[in-house]
Every structure is written in C-alpha cells, then in structure tokens.
Structure 1
Amino acid sequence: MVAKWIEALTGSLDQKKQYKRHMARVDALPEPYGSAAKALNRYFLYYGGFTDGDTLIAMIGDHADMWERAAVDGTPVRAVVGDDPVEFAETFARSYSGKEWIDKERRRLTEAVDAAAGDSGGDEGALS
C-alpha cells in the first residue's frame, strides 16, 4: 500500500530501476561511444519532453542497445550519428511516440481559439 502511494507521488519505481540499468549500460560503454551516448541522452531529456515513462524507458533502452552494438562492431561515432548530431537526436527521439508535456498546451491552445472563434469552424474572423 505504501509503495503505491509513493509511486503516485514520484512515478513508477520499476521505471526508475529500468532507467538506472540503461544508464549503467551507457556508463559502461568504452570511449568514444560512452561520451557520445551520454551527450545524446542529455539532449533527449531536454528535447523529448516525454511525460510517458514507458516511452522514455523504451527509447533510452534502444539507445543503449544501439551504442553497445556500435562498440562491438567498431562502428565509428560519425557513422552512427552522421554529420549533424542534432538532426540525428531529434529524428531518433521523434520515432518514439508518446505523450509530451507540450501536448497539454497544444490542446489548451486549440480549445481557447475554438472558444474565442465560437467553435463554428468557418470564416468567423473574416470581414463582411
């Protein structure tokens, strides 16, 4: 009972454990893979805006898998991320659909404009 109450306040304890395991895998990567993976993970947390823990955990786990495979195969970092690491990171993160913090604001904006426009869906703002 106490665990459910704590999870209601802090989020899933299982997800936190999974996240820590994935991050430990990233920490164990040899260089230069570890540095690249850590930099990308940091960017994901700023860029992604995920509010859905399952989506974030899946993405971080797949990201760790990718870098582990690159390290085993000896794939150069640039061959993984390409010339534009920002484009790579954003494309990677977008491939994981989930709830984002901005979704709530998008809905609120749409509802506010619909209400202001009378929700007629027509040319309510056009001059007669």
Structure 2
Amino acid sequence: MGIQDIIEGKKQWRAHMARVKALPPDYQIVYKEMQRYLFKVGPVDLADGHLLAEIVDFFEQGAAGGKGVLQLVGTDVAAFCDDLIKDSRTYADVYQESLRKETP
C-alpha cells in the first residue's frame, strides 16, 4: 500500500463519516454502536468499506422516510449486525481455523 492509497483511504473515510454526522442523532448513536461491534467481531473484509457504506445508505433512506432507527434495526442491534455478517468470514473463524491447524 502506497502513500497515495493511504491518502485516498483517509479521504474516503472522512467522506463516510461526514455522511454519518449528517444523520439524525439517534441514527448516529446506533451507527457508532454497530461500527464498534463490527470492528470487534465483524467480517475479515470489513476494511473494504462496503458494509459500513451500505449501512449508511440504509440509514439515510430510513431517515428520509421518517422512520426511527429502531424501526429499521430492531431493539437488538447486535443481533441485527450478526444477521448482516452471517455468511461472512469473521476474525473468530480465522482464530478457530488456526487452532484447528495447531491441533494434531
């Protein structure tokens, strides 16, 4: 990864976060909780940024439609996140695979 890639990545991240900050306050709170959760347990390819951008798209549509954020995701935000990544390879999967390889 070159310096230009890093600079471009930072620009994209700042633009992404500007979109998050434009959301209503309740959406921002839930987004940040989802982001924190996904960074802990989320998919290996989370760094590609597609999932987080899609969540912001979903939230922007919900806010534009006048829906509350909990109408979109429900009251169990972690379960909503788990459902989003159910078919994705997670860091927990990578860890479990490494343990299996070490065991004869």
TM over 0.5: same fold?
A: yes
Q: CA deviation at 1:27?
A: 1.1
| TM-score, normalising length: structure 2 | 0.76
Q: Is the 8 A contact 1:51 1:101 kept in 2?
A: no
Q: Which residue of 1 aligns with 2:56?
A: 64
| TM-score, normalising length: structure 1 | 0.64
Q: 1:79 aligns with which of 66, 71, 76?
A: 71
The structure, 1 or 2, with the larger RCO (C-alpha pairs under 8 Å, 6+ apart) is 2
Superposed counterparts of 1:84-103, under 5 Å: 84-94=76-86, 97=88, 100-103=90-93
Deviations 1:1-21 (A, max 9, x none): xx72x47xxxx4233332222
Q: Which residue of 2 aligns with 1:45?
A: 39
1:112 has 2:102 as partner: yes
Deviations 1:71-91 (A, max 9, x none): 100112221111322211221
Q: Which residue of 2 aligns with 1:26?
A: 20
SS of 1:59's partner is helix
1:16 has 2:10 as partner: yes
Q: Which has the larger radius of gyration?
A: 1
Unaligned runs of 5+ in 2: none
Could you tell me how far apart the structure 2 residues matched to 1:76 and 1:88 are?
15
Q: Which residue of 2 aligns with 1:123?
A: none
RMSD, aligned α-carbons: 2.5
Pick which of 34-43 and 103-112 moved more. 103-112
Deviations 1:51-105 (A, max 9, x none): 6622xx001100110111111001122211113222112212335x35x434443
